[in-house]
Amino acid sequence: MPKKYWLMKCEESECTFNELKERPGSVGHWRGVRNYQARNFLRDEMAKGDLVLFYQSNCETPGVGGVAEIARTGYPDPSAFDTSSRYFDEKSNPDEPRWFSVDVRWKRPLKRFVPLSDLKAAAELSEMKVVQRGQRLSIQPVTKAEFDLVCKLGGRA
């Protein structure tokens, strides 16, 4: 199975690149995805070793700040069963999990943060969902060419 490439959005309030920079190799639990299309990617499509563009949303300058890899593939999202979690889903049932998590390992920051405006300015990236208006999907497949170009824009091919 060839390696796949993804873009995963994280709100700035959930994780910051500065924190991750100081913890190379650290593993994050990807919790709280409550969208069926994104769920299907987590559950069915992601494979260990797939590479991830780490995107920060909902902040002053959204964009891609680093690269991660899938460290553990889809497993039921514990936060769906945790009544104290903001992601608790009362309709979710442990016997028939509805929501899934993956774990990602932080690999490296890009030398240069690649803001969304730069992604939009690159003609070769016009097919990326993240540059398209109204596209809110928090986990998106990207092509190898797109992945490589974003890394290159970030100062490291």
Partner DNA sequence: GCCAACGTTGGC
134 contacts DNA (rule: CB under 7 A): yes
Q: How far, in Å, CA of 93 to CA of 95, rounded?
A: 5
- Residue 88 makes contact with DNA by CB under 7 A: no
Which stretch in 46-54, 103-111, 127-135, 143-151 sits in contact with DNA by CB under 7 A? 127-135
The whole-angstrom separation of Cα 51 and Cα 66 is 11
Q: Which residues is 93 bridged to in the sheet?
A: 96
Contact residue for DNA among 58, 126, 145, 155 (CB under 7 A):
58
Q: How far is the CB of 138 from DNA (least distance, A)?
A: 5
Which of 29, 98, 116, 148 binds DNA (CB under 7 A)? It is 116
Phi, psi for residue 19 in degrees, rounded to 5: -65, -45
Rounded Cα–Cα distance for residues 104 and 82 (Å): 21
Of the two residues 2 and 13, which places its CB atom closer to DNA in the complex?
Answer: 13
CB of 140 to DNA, least distance (A): 9
Identify which of residues 36 and 88 has a Cβ nearer to DNA in the complex.
36
Which residue in 11, 19, 44, 127 binds DNA (CB under 7 A)? Answer: 11
**Three-class secondary structure of residue 114 per DSSP:** strand
Q: Which listed residue (14, 15, 29, 34) binds DNA by CB under 7 A?
A: 34
CB 97 within 8 A of CB 76: yes
Spatial contact of 18 and 74, defined as CB atoms under 8 Å apart: no
